[in-house]
Structure 1
């Protein structure tokens, strides 16, 4: 695997209001082959501004491993499924990584709709 493969992998970040919702979203993305893996980091505390007020909430963070090619479909699907009015969804490019893991991500995310 060359360095170019690392640039094909993305880590997307999102949050959900609770672990059950995050688990449901993660399972759907993996079952649809839009993500190779989703890590759930429960009990995150978020402080944010919403509609002019500073809010605090417990959330579950999702670390979603996907590919550049699958990103548009993943984004569309997560926004369809997500309960928030404005869900957090950020994509971070992977600059480098463990080659066998990167290959595994690429092998487990479908490139196009079947």
Structure 2
């Protein structure tokens, strides 16, 4: 189980075009035990360069909690389910936190198969 100084827990960030897509992605990732929890944060404004032009748009941000050993499967599943041609999938190591919460993330994403 992870400890507060063990970087096995990951936070994966991804954006979605709308609330129904965000809800469906979050539910699928949790249902499939690829994520312990997904926070859905509406109302973000993104400015980015895409295909040579600067784009602006309203999006929904997903904060996805998983473990290092489930990260690759999570990112692959996200890419399969996501409607964007190039979905955001950015993983950040959790280098600290409440030990009990880190343990819970590991327990909820355990692959029992």
Alignment gaps of 5+ in structure 1: none
Distance in structure 1 (CA, Å) of the matches to 2:3 and 2:10: 16
Offset of residue 2 of structure 1? 3.1
Secondary structure at the counterpart of residue 7 of structure 2? helix
Q: What is the TM-score of this pair, normalised by structure 2? A: 0.94
Specify the alignment match of 2:3 in structure 1: 2
Distance 1:2 1:109 in 2: 16
Q: Distance in 2 between matches of 1:44 and 1:26?
A: 17
TM-score, length of structure 1 as denominator length = 0.93
Classify the secondary structure of the residue corresponding to 1:69: helix
Q: What corresponds to 2:60 in structure 1? A: 60
Distance, in Å, in 2 between the alignment partners of 1:66 and 1:81 is: 17
1:26: which partner in 2?
26
Deviation at 1:111, TM superposition (A): 3.7
The alignment partner of 1:7 has SS state of coil
Q: Tell me how far apart the structure 2 counterparts of residues 67 and 52 of structure 1 sit (CA, whole Å).
A: 35
How many Å apart are 1:72 and its aligned residue?
0.9
Instruction: Report the Cα offset of residue 19 of structure 1.
Output: 1.1
Find the residue that maps to 1:100 and give its secondary structure. helix
Residues 92-111 of structure 1 show CA distances to partners (whole Å, capped at 9, x for unaligned) of: 00100011111110110024
Q: CA RMSD in A?
A: 1.3
SS in 2 for 1:102: helix
**Unaligned segments of structure 2, at least 5 residues:** none
